[in-house]
Amino acid sequence: MALNRDADASRLAAESLAEDDPTGWFERLYAEAASGVAIVPWDRDQPNPILVEWAERRELDGAGRALVIGCGYGQDAEYIARLGFATTAFDISPTAIGEVRQRFPDSPVTYAVADLLDPPAVWQGAFDLVVEAITVQSMPVSVRDTAIANIRRTVAPGGQLIVISGFRSEGEEVSGPPWPLTPSEIDSFGADGLRAAAIEFDPQTQRWRAEFRRAER
């Protein structure tokens, strides 16, 4: 029987939300995928092309430390590491982190199990590049502010944040996951010392690509 790429995520997210556990469905999804009874809809064999195009346009030199939010199976993290960044990547799912370590046994990336809603304190202000690609949009609106604030806090002085997400109109109700980001939610990354350097929206792909920077001390 063919597996539906989106149905598994929707089913498990609904179960977690009913239990007042907004992020518990991630581990359930990865565990079921490891057993062959579900599909992780964002699993892919290449890094996010929007991230790649952005990095190539910026001609990133790979200097400094990078953090990849909600790394899943690691394609974005491996790409950022290939650019030369000392890369840390995390996911809330132990199964996902176990799988990514098997897929890339010789990886230079430091993979960790961590929760975006309660990240390690040592990550605050520690990273020159922070990559957030479609993780926040996979979290319900009830925890959105916390997730965004915690991402902002990881950006070091002089550092930059790239945000990639789907689009949702202000006030639009959607039955997620995902719950794409509204213009005001994208704008909210630019707070606590971060400022928007470029906010781009592609109407064809319905995707945001937004860049934020923190001033040097």
Distances (CA, A) of 83 to 109, 127, 140: 12, 15, 32
- Stretch 92-100: mean pLDDT, rounded? 97
CB atoms within 10 A of CB 137: 24
List of domains in the chain: 44-214 (3.40.50.150)
- Model pLDDT for residues 176-185, shown as the tens digit of each residue: 789 999 999 9
Residue 85 has φ and ψ, to the nearest 5°, of -75, 145
The stretch 87-105 carries a mean pLDDT of: 97
Spatial distance between the Cα atoms of 206 and 101, rounded to a whole number of angstroms: 32
Q: Please tell me the distance from the alpha carbon of residue 12 to that of residue 26, in angstroms, as a whole number.
A: 8
Tens digits of residue pLDDT in 12-30: 888 888 898 889 989 999 9
Mean pLDDT to the nearest integer, 152-172? 96
Instruction: Look up residue 65 and give its two tokens.
Output: 């430390």
Given pLDDT bands bounded at 50, 70 and 90, which one contains residue 1? very low
Compute the C-alpha angle 30/31/37, nearest 5°.
Answer: 95
